[in-house]
Amino acid sequence: MINTATSMISDVIGKDDQSSAFVYGAYSFFDKVSNGVIIFGITASWIENETALRWCIAVIPAGCGLGAFILAYIGNKLYSKRLAKLSMDK
């Protein structure tokens, strides 16, 4: 999933080297913060319930992977020409 996100960010940035470091840095920061908050919330809520934690470990990554695939597929179908133009600019 991180490869999908990184490649989508690079497609949006294109050849704009002025702001690419900021965009990647902001993405990395928000990725780390959001993952930490989500993991803390899950473990704090369900630390006593072994079955719920097992389901979370099994279902959440699979659901996120499926969601990333669906969104990448939709983005490719709807915006592939626009992204190609962004990559070719400058």
* Domain map (residue ranges) of the chain: 2-88
Report the alpha-carbon distance of residue 64 to residue 66 in Å, rounded. 5
Report the alpha-carbon distance of residue 49 to residue 85 in Å, rounded. 50
Report the alpha-carbon distance of residue 54 to residue 71 in Å, rounded. 26
Residue 1 pLDDT level (bands cut at 50, 70, 90):
low
- Segment 69-75 shows an average pLDDT of 88
What percent of the chain has pLDDT above 70? 88
Report the alpha-carbon distance of residue 82 to residue 74 in Å, rounded. 13
Residue 28 pLDDT level (bands cut at 50, 70, 90):
confident
Contact assessment for residue 89 and residue 15, using Cβ atoms and an 8 Å cutoff: yes
Report the alpha-carbon distance of residue 74 to residue 78 in Å, rounded. 6
Minimum mean pLDDT range among 13-22, 25-34, 35-44, 51-60: 13-22
